[in-house]
């Protein structure tokens, strides 16, 4: 079987753009609505929202690759990147690296793509690694670059990328395509077309020894941001991580031919879902800011700690809601104190109470804020 890069038409992908025309319109409309919501935030809220969304994407793009990072350390690193006052929390090399990539992507979304930029991103991502031969450069090993699953004695090859000897040629052509299809390029493409092709094209080449998935998703974000003219903060990695099987299935099927309409339909639907989730996060964080503003000076340290913990869980909250036992576990408070604190939070409109007795659960009340 030939892979996409072994076929005569590589890398000239064919597709039916009409299949995602409606998605393109919805993306641009959604981008305008998100930008409008941003405009109503103060500078501090905008910074906090940006940090929340960037850290969430950094966390999830790493989880897709099976790497689980500490959210607090990641946020601390991102805050440092933005020059904000932070604690002295120790940050691992992996957390520091992905934080640097995501902040660089946010700040420099409109810069042209180059070998140098990709090498810098790879250096950031592989910060502290000792198991790679090629760091900050394209792979050079002679063994086939394969995506494999299954037992060692019966492996299944999902994809094999072009040999390392072709990397400079392949990547030179990819970079030229990426810049030419930008809004200011010679042959501009619409946002979803460009981002979808960019991601598939890059991961098909698989130019690095490791980190290709994370860089490929960053390139999709960069393509979208350039096409809408501002950082998108679309929750692509979060959406992919929630259904990795569909993502890998779509990629595997797209790696077998260069007519990629099915891939673009999948990608467009995924991005719109991600954009909707980003909108939910923005509404959630706007409600958070309003709640804290309304309750400023009215909460004791235990209540502040619990509310902060609830907001860390995002719009979906604790699985099963907050119980009195969880409140005690978070604060260390005696049961009587926990009960009074929770009743007070309900009375102040910060929490909603659901159920009775041992089934009582508390949820954030964001509707009145």
Please return the burial class of 276, using the count of CB atoms within 10 Å of its CB with bins 0-12, 13-18 and 19+: middle
Q: Which pLDDT does position 351 carry in this prediction?
A: 94
369: pLDDT strictly greater than 70: no
| Among the ranges given (37-51, 167-181, 183-197, 305-319), the one the predictor scored with the smallest mean pLDDT | 37-51
The neighbouring-strand residues paired with 363 are: 352
φ/ψ of residue 153, rounded to 5: -80, -10
- Chain centroid offset of residue 230 CA: 16
Q: What rounded mean pLDDT belongs to the chain?
A: 92
Beta-bridge partners for 364: 351
The CATH homologous superfamily to which domain 4-284 belongs is: Fido-like domain (1.10.3290.10)
Residue 33: which pLDDT band, with cuts at 50, 70 and 90? confident
Q: Where are the alpha helices (DSSP H) in 9-148?
A: 21-39, 43-64, 71-81, 93-107, 115-125
What Cα–Cα distance (Å) separates residue 220 from each residue in 202, 269, 304, 332? 10, 14, 38, 44
Hey, which CATH number is domain 300-364, 3.40.1550.20, 1.10.10.10, 3.90.1150.10, 3.30.420.40?
1.10.10.10
Q: How far apart are CA 102 and CA 125, in angstroms?
A: 10
* pLDDT(240) > 90: yes
Domain boundaries, the chain: 4-284, 300-364
Among residues 3, 13, 57, the alpha carbon closest in space to that of 217 is found at: 57
Q: What is the pTM of this model?
A: 0.88
Stretch (H or E) spanning 326: helix 324-331
């Amino acid at each position: 079987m030939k892979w996409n890069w072994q076929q005569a038409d590589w890398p000239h992908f064919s597709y039916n753009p009409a299949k995602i025309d409606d998605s393109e319109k919805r993306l641009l409309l959604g981008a305008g609505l998100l930008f409008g919501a941003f405009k109503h935030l103060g500078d501090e809220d905008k910074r906090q929202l940006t940090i929340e969304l960037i850290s969430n994407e950094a966390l999830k793009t790493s989880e897709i690759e099976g790497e689980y990072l500490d959210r607090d350390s990641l946020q601390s690193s991102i805050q440092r990147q933005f020059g904000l006052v932070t604690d002295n929390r120790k940050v691992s090399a992996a957390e520091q690296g992905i934080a640097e990539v995501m902040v660089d992507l946010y700040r420099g979304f409109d810069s042209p793509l180059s070998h140098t930029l990709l090498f810098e991103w790879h250096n950031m991502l592989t910060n502290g690694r000792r198991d790679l031969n090629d760091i900050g450069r394209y792979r050079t090993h002679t063994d086939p670059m394969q995506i494999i699953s299954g037992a060692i004695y019966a492996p299944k090859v999902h994809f094999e990328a072009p040999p390392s000897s072709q990397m400079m040629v392949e990547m030179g052509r990819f970079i030229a395509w990426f810049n030419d299809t930008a809004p200011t390029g010679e042959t501009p493409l619409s946002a979803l077309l460009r981002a979808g092709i960019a991601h598939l094209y890059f991961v098909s080449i698989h130019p690095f020894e490791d980190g290709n998935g994370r860089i490929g998703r960053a390139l999709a974000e960069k393509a979208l941001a350039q096409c809408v003219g501002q950082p998108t903060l679309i929750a692509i990695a979060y959406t992919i991580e929630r259904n990795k099987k569909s993502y890998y299935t779509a990629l595997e099927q797209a790696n077998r031919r260069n007519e990629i309409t099915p891939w673009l339909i999948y990608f467009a639907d995924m991005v719109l879902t991600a954009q909707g989730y980003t909108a939910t996060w923005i509404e959630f964080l706007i409600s958070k800011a309003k709640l804290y503003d309304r309750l400023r000076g009215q909460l004791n340290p235990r209540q502040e700690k619990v509310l902060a913990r609830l907001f860390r869980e995002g719009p979906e909250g604790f699985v099963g809601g907050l119980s009195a036992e969880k409140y005690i576990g978070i604060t260390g408070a005696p049961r009587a104190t926990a009960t009074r604190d929770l009743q007070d939070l309900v009375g102040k409109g910060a929490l909603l109470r659901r159920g009775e007795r041992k089934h009582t659960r508390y949820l954030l009340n964001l509707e009145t804020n």
